[in-house]
Amino acid sequence: MGGARLHRRGLLAGAIAISAAPFAPRLGAAQSADITTTVLARGLEHPWGLAFLPDGRCLVTERPGRLRLVTRDGTVGPPIAGTPAVDAVGQGGLLGIALSPSFARDRLVFLSFAEPRGGGTNGTAVFRGRLSASGAALEEGRTIWRQDPPIASRLHFGSRLVFDRTGHLFVTTGERFTQMDQSQNGANTLGKIVRITAEGATAGDAGGARGWNPAIHAIGLRNVQGAALHPETGRLWVSNHGPRGGDGLYVVQAGANYGWPLISWGTHYDGRPVNGGLRERADLVQPLVHWTPSIAPAGIAFYTGALMPAFRGNLFVSALAAQTLVRVVLDGETVVRQERLLGNVGQRFRDVQQGPDGALYLLTDARDGAVLRLAPQGA
């Protein structure tokens, strides 16, 4: 992604104005300082997930199946050895990434991916490996969890990984598109939020009493590609893809049902209403906010840094179809207002993370994808 492709376009309401590289966007009137958006690294093929190491370097997954180490000056390393074989079809491939909460001691890296299962089927799976001292390989690697059942589909794999404060791992899954009704079936892990141990054992805290699969934490999701823990409450927040509209932001509660496909603020792609157009039901959770038309929300991150104090406590949502970074201003679990940033860059944003330096880092979903850094000028 060369700088020439990130050219100035007509400004959108609430968007940040981007100029030639290095980008020099200005914050809206509600903000307190100028910021600059720069390209940290480029030449990544459909980067999907981003995780920072304690020393400020980062690991980036590429959907075709590669994991790369990016240095603080933006140098992209060769593919790291020892990653799992992926089914890089459609939306599938190497996807989410999370570091062990004890990474400084154990150097464990967790990856979610579309795993080929034979006979044309595949499914979301979680792989664990130990990053070598040189950073060149994942050692002692093994697949610790598999979505069940495998499906012949190119779509809706999820799949973010987030550790909770007890050291258990949340895994978000999709319902594989062709199996939307299975999102309501607690016997399987399609369209669910799953909770496992770092060794892969089931640790669902909702399924047993309901006769669900013991790994299940919550049901009724369509395709969750954004997940983050709230920095104060420790609760899991997720962004969920709706069909044609009806994307949603949710606070997740163990045992809750998030409604798909019983309710939706969107429609099917052919324009048919979902379940007769039903949007609400008393026993099904409503989103904190829904995006209709669809923005296609992907990664999400809470901002806690000191570098950009105007953003503290805000949630950021990277959007694919809307080609924007959505800033969500919150009062507890209430959405106060939203602002769309970087809408004039003309890129699909796959992930957003806060770096150890307090800047925000974004991945652009493109064949020649990039890592962008958003920070005050001179910082």
- The per-residue pLDDT for range 314-334, each reduced to its tens digit, is 999 999 999 999 999 999 999
Contact partners, residue 232, CB within 8 Å, separation at least 6: none
Catalytically annotated residue among 46, 156, 168, 217: 156
Contact 161, 98 (CB under 8 A): yes
Report CA-CA distances (Å) from 193 to 37, 162, 189, 276.
33, 11, 8, 26
Q: What is the pLDDT of residues 255-284, one digit of tens each?
A: 999 999 999 999 999 999 999 999 999 999
Tokens of 69: 């180490």
Residue 163 pLDDT more than 80?
Answer: yes
User: What pLDDT digit, counting tens, does each position of 219-246 carry?
Assistant: 999 999 999 999 999 999 999 999 999 9
Domain ranges of the chain: 3-376
Kind of pairing between the strands at 236-240 and 216-218: unpaired
Give residue-wise pLDDT tens across range 82-130.
999 999 999 999 999 999 999 999 999 999 999 999 999 999 999 999 9
Respond yes or no: is residue 290 known to be catalytic. Answer: no
CATH number corresponding to 3-376: 2.120.10.30
